[in-house]
Structure 1
Amino acid sequence: MSESSLGKRERLRALHDKFIVEDRWRTADERTRLYLLSAALVVIGVAGFLIILADIVQRDDVAGIDIPMNEWLMQTRTGAMTAIMIGLAIGFGPVALPVIIFGTIVVWGVLAKHLWRPVLLALGTLTGLVLVQVITRLVERHRPPVELMLFGVDTTYSFPSGHVSGATNFLLLLTYLIYSRRAASRRAVIVVGVLLVIAVGLAAISRVYLGYHWPTDALASIALALAILGGIIALDTWRTVRVRAGGRLGTDADASADR
């Protein structure tokens, strides 16, 4: 190999180490718990999705909870509530949300001068988008009647919900990627968890309330997002978590020495 090729490889390696490498020092037990968490999320997400899909197929396109929940939400419609739900639909929609995600990735990468977590955020949200597009075309589930739609007519297939999938993936991944790197009190974890549940719930309810999705479309999207989160946690743990021989927790000096 020529000297110029070696120099180029060394420069690329230096850029990789500077912008991509991110070591986190944890005990062996902590790393194991992260892998167990990721596996549990994948199993729960995939199992939940398959259970919902089976119910839809067995009941000829409409699951058992869909019509009762749709009818109840239709009864709660008011002018003010509809305006709020339309605002949520726009914010979580195919125009605004990609801009928000892209802006977050770029700003995060520039400010942090590090790309690993922004890349994971991009990978997770892109995976969700691809899965939704593929599954939607395979299942070909029809949306609720067009007369129930409050913000224009949409005749594309509905299962799973792209709005809910995009919003849930973004919120779950962003929360994990931020809080996995900092110590948080139990109170902070509870507060963030409650806010996360509320935000995801509003994204799901808005699509059903406005008449564009069945409740199980939204639930299936959330299940897929949990599975994707589990996969990202596993990848992040495999790539970044380091354990010293004998289970000793490493230090920043150790990390520098190993790079």
Structure 2
Amino acid sequence: MAQKSAGSALTRRGTGRWHTFHEKFVVEERYIDPADRRRLYRASIILAVVGLALFIATLVSVVQGGGLSAADAPVHNWLLTTRSAAATAFMIFLAVFFGPIALPIIVLVVILIWGFAAKHAWRPILLAAAMLTGVIVSQIILHIVQRSRPPVDQMLFGADQTFSFPSGHVLGACDFLLVGAYLIFSRRRNPRAAVFGFIGAGIGITLAITSRLYLGYHWPTDTLASFSLSLLILGGVIALDTWRTARIPGEPVTGELSEEGAPQDEGLR
């Protein structure tokens, strides 16, 4: 009897571990108002169209040497006149924070903590996929366009002779902040929280762009291209998330762990 009891306990523990692991990868579905789902799809389309159109316009101007890129040299030269010791120190801090070492570590830590703490891993996985997509897309475009950076002697944090268009620093910051803000605040009932969340994301993006321009590593159109690509990625994330998780009354909800009630203020849960 004792052996049977011990065996049953081990079986329950094994089953419990498997159930906990399994439920992480069950995509939660939620009921929302039909109008809200239409707004989400509309927003995703608008973001994707605006992002694609803005990127194409920026790319054409860079390749042809006119249009939006005509402002690159004047803006770059003006920023050279605004440099100071205090501003440079702050901009270098931002460059390190949004750089290719610190930002991936921050993103990885956020994804792991969120993934383990949350009931479902759908949103952390979406964030990871968006970040990876940004890296792949930027590397492909970098080697196709092969645009030169501003003069090396004007760079304030070491020489960088890699290609310039688009800015990987800015694209990573935009993807992390914009997609992260959507994935967190899309589950909250209070629209003001989403407004403040995206305002915070906008401030972070502005700081990342300003840092890259001030330190002399990019032309303004490099950063504009990164922002436009991030809008395109954000639109794709919203569309995919809405298609996979948003249900309206009358539609079946699948998944044993999905919420069948009204949307709740979940935050990172």
TM-score bucket (shorter structure): 0.7 to 0.9
Structure 1 equivalent of residue 163 of structure 2? 157
Give the CA deviation at 1:245: 2.1
State the match for 1:176 in structure 2: 182
Deviates more, 1:172-181 or 1:107-116: 107-116
Q: 1:54-93 residue pairs with structure 2 within 5 A?
A: 54-59=60-65, 63-93=69-99
Percent of aligned pairs with the same amino acid? 51
For 1:181 and 1:211, locate their aligned partners in 2 and report how far apart those are by CA, in whole Å: 39
Q: Which residue of 1 aligns with 2:210?
A: 205
For 2:200, the equivalent position in structure 1 comes to 195
Give yes or no for contact 1:19–1:113 (8 Å, CA) kept in 2.
no
Deviations 1:23-69 (A, max 9, x none): 12112221111111000000010100000111111117991110111
Moved more, 14-23 or 82-91: 14-23
Q: Is the 8 A contact 2:24 2:121 kept in 1?
A: no
2:177 touches 2:201 (CA, 8 Å); kept in 1?
yes
How far off its partner does 1:183 sit? 1.6
Compute the displacement of 1:13 (Å).
9.6
Once residues 69 and 101 of structure 1 are traced to their aligned partners in structure 2, the CA distance between those partners, rounded to angstroms, is 31
* Alpha-carbon distance in structure 2 between the residues aligned to 1:212 and 1:106: 31
- TM-score normalised to the size of structure 1? 0.87
Contact kept, 8 Å, 2:130 with 2:179, in 1: the verdict is yes
**Alpha-carbon deviation of 1:244?**
2.2
Match of 2:231 in 1: 226
8 Å contact kept, 2:185–2:197: no
Alpha-carbon shift at residue 141 of structure 1 (Å): 0.3
Amino acid at match of 2:118: A
> What is aligned with 1:217?
222
| Letter paired with 1:115 | A
Cα distance, 1:72 vs structure 2: 1.2
Return the TM-score normalized by structure 2.
0.84
Q: Give the distance between the partners of 1:182 and 1:254, measured in 2 at CA.
A: 14
Instruction: Indicate the residue corresponding to 2:144 in structure 1.
Output: 138
Aligned to 1:19: 25
For the 8 Å contact 1:28–1:243, the answer to whether it is kept is: yes
> How many equivalent pairs are there?
241
Unaligned residue ranges in structure 2 (runs of 5+):
1-16, 252-257, 263-269
Change (3 A) 1:106 1:15: closer
Aligned to 1:235: 240
Which amino acid in 1 is paired with 2:127?
L
Which letter does structure 2 place at the counterpart of 1:209?
Y
Q: Distance in 2 between matches of 1:195 and 1:75?
A: 28
The residue number in structure 1 matching 2:8 is: none
